[in-house]
Structure 1
Amino acid sequence: MNDPKPMGSVAELLLNYVSTTHEHDVNFSIAVTMLNHYRELGSMSAAEIAELCHVSNASISRFCRHLGFDHFKEFHHYLGDSINMSTDYSRSFFDMLCADRWAAMDRYQQQLSENIQSTFARENLDKLPEMARILHDSRRVAFFSHHFLWDIGRHMQNKFLVMGRCIEQYFDYSFQLECARSLGPEDTALVCTVGGSYPTRYGNIWSALQNNGSRLLIITQNRSSAYWNNASYVLNCGSTNQNDVGKYSALLAADLLVMHYLRQYGRDFF
């Protein structure tokens, strides 16, 4: 089983690299140049990109390996699968946005409201105290996600750390796989996947989570998936991800979990 190495798009890999690296060396310069010419990269050869970046072909190959790809060809392959705006917004919504922006905003608001109401359902809220207890009692907690949900993981890391609970999160595919393989029965994996596609996209990581004996807590809209059969709890984060509204209810679900952890264990940190 070969999982996609970029857990999102190549653009996100480059942006994350530029935003987090402390060394403004030749690799940093290559990444910045690639971002400034990102839409052109898919039609360019390694030699053309090297000329654009004012480096050698070997430097481009080394940079691709530095990002986690085996070689330039693999990097170039994933450029073709890059996420574009049609991934997030439907054509009908775009047409409505151009023709009548107020109608488009009304539809968007309605979708947001439906997700918020679904996330606040009593049967959903009733799961939170026990989920908070599991997070508190675990030896290790690791957050698994991809694409925009990384930001939700980082938000949870910050909030929980203030309350003395360290949550691990890794942006790189190889580190997520290594983390999944290292967890055990005393640990918890918190998987955030709005549409429920994480297990199918990253089968090697999911298999490791299934085999390591750790507890599974899931945040998703796809509550009926057979992948969650062994999960301790599945927390709903709404009912629709049309026009990319699912990320807001996923953040809401994460915040509700933070609030209940605060209620049960955060008195000394308030």
Structure 2
Amino acid sequence: MGLLIIRLITFLNSQAPETTNYHIAMTMLANYSNLHLISIGKIAKLCNVSKSTISKFARQLGFDDYLDLKDNAAFIENRFNNPLNYLSNILTSIETDGFDNYLNAVTTDINFLRVNLDFDAVDNIAKAINDYDNVAAFGLVFSESAAIDMQYKLAYNGKFIRTFQDDVIQEDFLRNAGEDTLIIILTNSGDYLTKQQIKLGTPRKDIFSKTKAKIVVISSNPVVKNFSFVDEALIFPHQTKYQTHSIMYQIITDLIVSRYRYFNSLL
């Protein structure tokens, strides 16, 4: 999934439908398959706004200008040569191997988690959430969905944490976070810590070497434990070819919130 479509969906999820920018975003999505070929004049006409309004909207989404937005518009499945993307790894495998194989893989990964989960790491994360007043949880796409899910789960227990779907706001928050802040990163591959995953060319990310926040990582990649800026890591390796992290996240965050509830009750 490309940077533009993620930012458009994120934008729509936080805007009132009657606004001009909401209409522009919806028009871009309606014409998404050809958007990389559409000039600023034509998209402005389709949206019934001026070219300057389109330029301002592009900048509001975090792009330099409309041309930069267009460069991120072409949808190419697995454009970054990642065989673990959702379409290739999950949907194509289900279509090829059948639904039963997929369910068996999910069961296998859950059973492995049951036996091998690092419960000390679960407790350490739960204690940190309990100890810090300022807590945030971030990820991208399905990992960000898990961060939002965790936000709601903790809110049910009186703990309010922050998360942002917008990748630009996430980076700003990381850049400005102080030592009094705990940030939980959900990243299946671990790449969120080192790469701009949804930007063209996946440029290197160095924001974590600059942040003063305490960084906790939930990942299937044990390499993240070696990063100097990672204070705590909970690892859940996959045992199958399927990337079942969206399901594993739900189980792991349930356990973390359960232990948070326990430690909070001791106060």
Would you say same fold, with TM above 0.5?
Answer: yes
Provide the secondary structure at the position in 2 that maps to 1:165: coil
User: Hey, what does 1:15 align to over in structure 2?
Assistant: 9
Among candidates 59, 62, 68, match of residue 68 of structure 1:
62
User: Hey, what does 1:24 align to over in structure 2?
Assistant: 18
User: Hey, what does 1:138 align to over in structure 2?
Assistant: 132
Question: Superposition pairs for residues 25-174 of structure 1, below 5 Å?
Answer: 25-80=19-74, 87-90=85-88, 94=92, 97=95, 103-174=97-168
What is the distance in 2 between the residues matched to 1:114 and 1:68?
Answer: 41
What is the distance in 1 between the residues matched to 2:95 and 2:44?
Answer: 40
Provide the secondary structure at the position in 2 that maps to 1:164: coil
Does the Cα contact within 8 Å between 1:190 and 1:216 map onto a contact in 2?
yes
Q: Aligned pair count? A: 258
Deviation of the 1:55 alpha carbon = 2.2
Question: Deviation per CA, 1:176-223, whole angstroms, max 9, x where unpaired?
Answer: 222112222232110100111102224999644333332221110001
What is the distance in 1 between the residues matched to 2:31 and 2:112?
Answer: 41
- Report sequence identity in percent: 22
Q: Please, which moves more after superposition, 105-114 or 24-33?
A: 105-114
Instruction: Give RMSD over aligned pairs.
Output: 3.1
Q: Please, which moves more after superposition, 179-188 or 193-202?
A: 179-188
Deviation of the 1:230 alpha carbon = 4.0
Q: Please, which moves more after superposition, 18-27 or 139-148?
A: 18-27
Q: Please, which moves more after superposition, 77-86 or 29-38?
A: 77-86
Does the Cα contact within 8 Å between 1:135 and 1:188 map onto a contact in 2?
yes
Deviation of the 1:113 alpha carbon = 2.0
User: Hey, what does 2:222 align to over in structure 1?
Assistant: 223
User: Hey, what does 2:253 align to over in structure 1?
Assistant: 254
> Letter of the aligned partner of 1:89 in structure 2?
L
Question: Deviation per CA, 1:20-76, whole angstroms, max 9, x where unpaired?
Answer: 213622211111111222212122222222222222222211211121211001111
> Letter of the aligned partner of 2:12 in structure 1?
V
Q: Please, which moves more after superposition, 234-243 or 134-143?
A: 234-243
Does the Cα contact within 8 Å between 1:144 and 1:191 map onto a contact in 2?
yes
Query: Structure 2: where are the runs of 5+ without partners?
Result: 198-202
| TM-score, length of structure 2 as denominator length | 0.83
Provide the secondary structure at the position in 1 that maps to 2:249: helix
Deviation of the 1:134 alpha carbon = 1.0
What is the distance in 2 between the residues matched to 1:97 and 1:252?
Answer: 26
Distance 1:241 1:227, change over 3 A: farther
Distance 1:76 1:224, change over 3 A: same
Question: Superposition pairs for residues 195-214 of structure 1, below 5 Å?
Answer: 195-202=189-196, 207-214=206-213
What is the distance in 1 between the residues matched to 2:239 and 2:164?
Answer: 27
User: Hey, what does 2:236 align to over in structure 1?
Assistant: 237
Deviation of the 1:114 alpha carbon = 2.8
Provide the secondary structure at the position in 2 that maps to 1:79: coil
